Chain A
Amino acid sequence: MATEAHAAEGVTGYIIHHLTPLHVGEGFWTLHLDTLFFSAVLGGLFIWFFKTAAEKATSGVPGLVQNFAEMLIEFVDNQVKDSFHGDSKLIAPLALTIFCWIFMWNFMDLFPVDILPLVGSMMGIEYLRVVPSTDLNATFAMSISVFCLIIFYSIKIKGPWGFAKELMFQPFGPWLLPFNLLLKLVEEIAKPISLALRLFGNLYAGELIFILIALLPWYIQPVLSFPWAIFHILIITLQAFIFMVLTIVYLSMAHEDH
């Protein structure tokens, strides 16, 4: 892929260059260093911010940092309470992490498309894709982790036999067992795939449009990129929110015994 991008010139070359990750390794053992780096840095930022707030947490009058952290915590907690009725120490922190992390990934999209790759090229880095959510690996890593939790909790709450029964006998009763099983398996597998692809698709498309706008003459660019950026603020928040809410919903479904 790298060599292809190198070879192509002009508009196509520019687009491909922007969508090519910085990578090392071959085949499956390729690592997208930019995705790993930016998501780790953003995760670190997230941890740093909330840790600062948590250390200074007081039940008295909260400071600015604590106020903001509490706002997010309450927001997530309300979402969790709305759809999840069990008792779990994991789901709320999980939802908070998902929401904040994805939001920060997506936020990278709002940086001008050329600025970070420019800084990168100054430091001798040829390819740099700064938005982790435009990498399928990042979105799938998250959705597959959620999927594992869904399976884990399904088996933990319902028992292996209960979970198997749910897969086999619902929704059409025992006489249509193979059909039920097929339907259920598709339903389960669709969850992580739809989660990952929805986020990826939205952000990839958004980034692509930013790149296309960047190809236009400079005097047209602001007219288009400004409204698109504003619209994008909505999209990045919405996508983070959808991912979080669906995670909560899927996990609460896993907790419900029929």
Chain B
Amino acid sequence: MSINATLIGQMITFALLVWFTMKYIWPPLFDSLEERKKKIADGLAAAEKGQEEILLAEKKAKGVIKEAKEQSSEIVTLAQKRANELIEESKDTAKKEGERLIVAAKAQIEQEIQQAKEGLRQEVADLALSAAEQILGAEIDKAKHQDIISKVSKQLG
């Protein structure tokens, strides 16, 4: 049980072991531990952030839906109004068109009346002429009285 040179040998071994541990063993293992710690912390933070973002997004989505609803009801109201307007407008147009048609029809009728009158007058004139011819007989020379005949027919026509 004596202290001897083994002590020195043991000290050298110890020093070598400590040096090796310090240089090659502790740093990589410790770093990987720290890195994992950081990763986990980051992951947790990200998860929390994600949760918050989900809440935020939900809130936002609700807002958007509400806005959309408002907008859609507004659009519906507007459309109804526009439809009413359109109906009114088309009613107006139809009325005007009808009136126009009536006017046109009336004009045509008038025209046709005129034409009929013209025809009738012509016929009356012809009848009168032929009657006068028959009455007057040969006394009226067509050549001599051409002027008078055409004058009368003009008056009649």
Docked complex Cα distance between A141 and B21 (Å): 18
Q: Are A138 and B10 in contact (CB under 8 A)?
A: yes
Q: Are B25 and A31 in contact (CB under 8 A)?
A: no
Q: Are B5 and A94 in contact (CB under 8 A)?
A: no
Which of chain A's residues have a CB closer than 8 A to the CB of B106?
none
Taking the complex as formed, is A3 at the interface, i.e. its CB lies under 8 A from any CB of chain B? no
Q: Are A30 and B4 in contact (CB under 8 A)?
A: yes
Q: Are A70 and B29 in contact (CB under 8 A)?
A: yes
Docked complex Cα distance between A25 and B8 (Å): 14
Q: Are A31 and B30 in contact (CB under 8 A)?
A: no
A141 partner, pick from B11, B25, B26, beta carbons under 8 A: B11
A144 partner, pick from B11, B22, B39, beta carbons under 8 A: B11
Which of chain A's residues have a CB closer than 8 A to the CB of B9?
31, 36, 141
Q: At the interface, is chain B mostly helix, strand, loop or mixed?
A: helix
Instruction: For the complex, count residues of B whose C-beta is within 8 A of A.
Output: 32
- Contacts known (A59-B32, A97-B18); A137 close to B25, Cβ less than 8 A: no
Q: Are B32 and A57 in contact (CB under 8 A)?
A: yes
Instruction: For the complex, count residues of A whose C-beta is within 8 A of B.
Output: 48
Which of chain A's residues have a CB closer than 8 A to the CB of B99?
none
Binds B, one of A40-48, A160-168, A222-230: A40-48
Q: Are B4 and A31 in contact (CB under 8 A)?
A: yes
* B117-131 interface (Cβ within 8 A of A): none
Which residue of A has the minimal Cβ distance to B12?
A141
Taking the complex as formed, is A85 at the interface, i.e. its CB lies under 8 A from any CB of chain B? no
Which residue of A has the minimal Cβ distance to B36?
A59
A25 partner, pick from B5, B20, B30, B33, beta carbons under 8 A: B5
Q: Are A32 and B4 in contact (CB under 8 A)?
A: yes
Which of chain B's residues have a CB closer than 8 A to the CB of A137?
3-4, 6-7, 10
Taking the complex as formed, is B28 at the interface, i.e. its CB lies under 8 A from any CB of chain A? yes
Q: Are B15 and A54 in contact (CB under 8 A)?
A: no
Taking the complex as formed, is A93 at the interface, i.e. its CB lies under 8 A from any CB of chain B? yes
* B1-50 interface (Cβ within 8 A of A): 1-11, 13-18, 20-22, 24-26, 28-33, 35-36, 39
Which residue of B has the minimal Cβ distance to A146?
B14
Taking the complex as formed, is A74 at the interface, i.e. its CB lies under 8 A from any CB of chain B? yes
Q: Report B82-102 CB contacts with A as 1/0, cut-off 8 Å.
A: 000000000000000000000
- Contacts known (A30-B5, A137-B4); A36 close to B29, Cβ less than 8 A: no
Q: Given known contacts A43-B16, A92-B30, what 20 new A-B pairs fall within 8 Å (CB)?
A: A28-B4, A31-B6, A36-B13, A40-B13, A43-B13, A43-B17, A47-B17, A50-B25, A51-B24, A54-B28, A73-B30, A93-B21, A93-B25, A93-B26, A97-B14, A97-B21, A136-B2, A140-B3, A141-B11, A142-B11
B residues with CB within 8 A of A: 1-11, 13-18, 20-22, 24-26, 28-33, 35-36, 39
8 residue pairs, one from A and one from B, having the closest CB atoms: A141-B10, A59-B35, A137-B6, A93-B22, A93-B26, A57-B32, A30-B4, A93-B21
A residues with CB within 8 A of B: 25, 27-32, 35-36, 39-40, 43, 46-47, 50-51, 53-55, 57-60, 62, 66, 69-70, 73-74, 77, 89-90, 92-94, 96-97, 101, 132, 135-138, 140-142, 144-145
